[in-house]
Chain A
């Protein structure tokens, strides 16, 4: 029905062009900007739904592909497409952006048009990053999305926003320039082998590379993606950025931008440099385990709610990277390939689930912050007495964050831990400990903030959530429950693509039949 429409391009460019229109409404009449922004984000969400409904889950190849020459001198093409790995992430992006637009509705009063426009443009750029099938197009989107995020944190952020946003920008910029050099190197290598250079990601995945260049390329990718994920020890920008960002910025950062790093591992690191991934898998596993355990402890001692959730994000993203890089240890240990897919899909589910849960957690903090203008745990206590509806949701999302069975948080972590058991008991043991830690820091925070006697008169005067806030929470709670109780549709769409990824690396995994 829609087969003639360049659907993917529409999903990418509608929010970007819509964002420019919102910008053009100026800052005089903020209601116009808000309504227009909401309409654009809803339209984008509607446009992205056919990506799911018309997606053929049995195919591993790219779907909704579009290919146009862009910069012929460098063989750069405007080449977009989705597979089972990127499609769920695109839907997550379009979904969360609507939430973020609604979240900023009453809260943002300064330069509303610019705020809304920044998020819409950001949305388009993030979708572009997930959809790009040309490495240079990927890089352009990847870098360009720093600009709106830089502005969002810097204009609407907290007191220390300038420090945080410049740190955020420079960290990610430094991480990704090395990736650029790697891409240029592979372009040259392809030119030497095939006569013509290419930035096509699928071609790059087939490029034969010696081990030494592979390791260097792998490390440059690791730097780029590890900063985005973020992995220990390059995570230090995240707590600063999260704490200073406005609620919407935190939500987008946690829910989607961190996923770009995980996506990068699946799209670039694993298939392009499989030998180096095999050689250096211990490094990623080590860093992931440090993130899971050590950052979990760090989260425990935070006095600032946003910081606590930021550290919890790092810890949870550790599961993602752990799941992605378990495959060699699994085959080494068990001699069979079963469990590989479990780890990869567990990581993917964890990314989607973390998108919902961390977004919801940051929104919860946002709800409190808008009323009290404090993120400190000590300023709260007994919120349940004045905000019962809010307390219900807060407890629910905290449980999900702690990985309660029945919520989405459980599915991904459980799958990764199952895979880890096949690889090495110690990995699984350490990862499982975090489930306890996660429960400890999240529930302890909830205990101090939500339960107990009313701490002070500010809390006493709190009003419960209004309809807008209730709606956002409800939608997210449903999403968390659906993925938690019935993850099959999500797993189905990614199954063929993950299998294909494993197949692609097949020769590089020794014990694979």
Chain B
């Protein structure tokens, strides 16, 4: 077997990001606490440049390199750009929060960037090993980020819980992969896909179940959701921001790579499993969220219900369905980063705006951010003209097109149930008197980013054509 130099061009963004993280890590060693801003700015530059490289790397065809273990296709490029932009938002929101809590260290940013690298690898994976590599890079970064606030008992508990459960899920995933490998004799997703038809159904089905289990854990679909509320709640908000947004995009990509690129021959088998996961997620996510008083936990359950919708798009097994699910994942990340951004906005040194009560009377303190919060909440509830409505519409449309009308009905009914707890937040923001009169103390960059975030939810909602077309054409 002779060695062929692989084509490095498709991997340029990842290579660049990896080099940058290493450089930032070294620079950070020599930077004093008061000039930590250097690390922050460099991280932002690294992310923006990576997004730009991914953009310039865009190709209409699917290019594979490293013997098929790395794939660059339109989906990968779009998702990578989105991930980078979302994480830029996360870093901007997190900066002041970290400063106020004495956590403004280089580790947050380097770990965050390693996580981004992991996500990008997951998004471009063409091989079981690459999937796993990316997944573990992301997961390990997140475990460490959660545990960074080491004096906090809840954070340590969250990190421990996440680590143990995540390790089990990874183990399950590996177990499933090994079964599929045993039957098909390959780790390459494209090769596996060709071999599915002649493979032993029983072992393949076993492998499939374990793989779905691993994916469902990462997505946080019911009944593999138990970690999410605790982790969202326990982590410092700066980290919750991160966990709740971009990794869900990566998890969607992982689901797509494994189930569609690798196992689309078993669509009939995984469709039924995913329908159950999706229905359970939508029902339980929305109902349990009603009982929450902590907004981070509430948003965790709301995430679970959104995951149900993302899965609904994949279930259809059509190109347009994958496009709709991808659109939903992107929209979800934009809304979620905005929602957690609002929590950061209301928090200040020595005060965590974690409870729903803390949102009371926001309209009196700042009518503008009350409006932004309203846009985010209505968007999550799926009320037009906000962005979230179009995401739900795209997914429902494909569910109806595939003849799964009852599934779409479950989706809309649970959305109505879900609307209740979003409305309750708006009620606190607009209808209640503030509990404390302390004015908002957030700095200008957070205010600006959050305003852009909120306006994006409205503006893209009014004219979603470009984004929808982009996502739909990805799989055509």
Contacts and interface: CB of A to CB of B under 8 A. Distances in A.
B419 A173 contact: yes
A475 B24 CA distance: 72
A109 B143 CA distance: 52
B384 A71 contact: no
B400 A154 contact: no
Nearest to B378: A147
Interface residues of B, number: 36
B396 A73 contact: no
A139 interface: yes
A455 interface: no
B423 interface: yes
A162 B431 contact: yes
Nearest to A157: B431
Contacts of B468: 71, 73-74
Nearest to B416: A174
A122 B374 CA distance: 16
A155 interface: yes
A185 B405 contact: yes
A181 B412 contact: yes
Interface residues of A, number: 39
A279 B170 CA distance: 57
B408 A150 contact: no
A120 to B, nearest CB: 15
A258 B96 CA distance: 49
A169 interface: yes
A73 B323 CA distance: 11
Interface hub of A69, A147, A169, A181 (most chain B Cβ within 10 A):
A181
B22 to A, nearest CB: 42
B405 to A, nearest CB: 7
B168 interface: no
Contact of A72 (B374, B400, B465): B465
B367 A170 contact: no
A185 B398 CA distance: 10
Contacts of A71: 390, 464-465, 468
B413 interface: yes
Contacts, number: 98
Interface in A54-95: 69-74
Interface in A139-162: 139-140, 143-144, 146-147, 150-151, 154-155, 161-162
A27 B412 contact: no
A181 B407 CA distance: 11
A185 B383 contact: no
A243 B52 CA distance: 56
A228 to B, nearest CB: 15
A265 B389 CA distance: 24
Interface in B358-410: 363, 367, 374, 378, 383-385, 389-390, 393-394, 396-397, 400-401, 405, 408-409
A150 B367 contact: no
Given A70-B465, A71-B464, A180-B396, A166 B412 contact: no
Interface hub of B378, B420, B430 (most chain A Cβ within 10 A):
B430
Contact of B400 (A114, A174, A177, A188): A188
A151 B430 contact: yes
A191 B402 CA distance: 12
B469 interface: yes
A352 B383 CA distance: 29
Contact of B405 (A23, A155, A166, A181): A181
Contact of B384 (A74, A140, A178, A184): A140
A114 B427 contact: no
A187 interface: yes
B302 interface: no
Contacts of A178: 409, 412
B278 interface: no
B431 A184 contact: no
Interface hub of B424, B426, B463 (most chain A Cβ within 10 A):
B426
Interface hub of A74, A111, A139, A178 (most chain B Cβ within 10 A):
A74
B124 interface: no
A177 B413 contact: yes
B357 to A, nearest CB: 15
A69 B390 CA distance: 16
Contact of A161 (B426, B431, B464): B431
Q: Is the interface of A mostly helix, strand, loop or mixed?
A: helix
B344 to A, nearest CB: 25
A181 B400 contact: yes
A27 B396 contact: no
Contact of A181 (B389, B394, B408): B408
Contacts of B469: 72-73
A462 to B, nearest CB: 31
B415 interface: yes
A144 B412 contact: no
Given A140-B385, A143-B389, A162-B431, A184 B397 contact: yes
A326 to B, nearest CB: 32
Contact of B396 (A165, A169, A181): A181
Contacts of B384: 139-140, 143-144
A162 B427 contact: yes
A400 B128 CA distance: 76
A143 B378 CA distance: 11
Interface string B421-449: 00110110011000000000000000000
Contact of A180 (B401, B412, B465): B412
A31 B420 CA distance: 35
Contact of B367 (A27, A181, A184): A27
Contacts of A144: 383-385
A184 B430 contact: no
A143 B367 CA distance: 23
A177 B419 CA distance: 12
Interface in B307-362: none
Contacts of A139: 384
A181 B395 CA distance: 12
A220 to B, nearest CB: 10
B20 interface: no
A185 B419 CA distance: 23
Interface of A: 23, 26-27, 69-74, 111, 114, 136, 139-140, 143-144, 146-147, 150-151, 154-155, 161-162, 165-166, 169-170, 173-174, 177-178, 180-181, 184-185, 187-188, 191
22 contacts: A111-B363, A114-B367, A140-B385, A144-B383, A151-B430, A154-B426, A154-B427, A154-B430, A154-B431, A162-B427, A165-B431, A166-B427, A173-B419, A177-B413, A177-B415, A181-B396, A181-B408, A181-B409, A184-B393, A184-B396, A187-B400, A191-B401
Given A73-B465, A74-B393, 14 more contacts: A23-B367, A69-B465, A140-B389, A147-B383, A155-B431, A161-B431, A166-B423, A170-B420, A173-B419, A177-B413, A178-B412, A180-B412, A184-B401, A185-B405
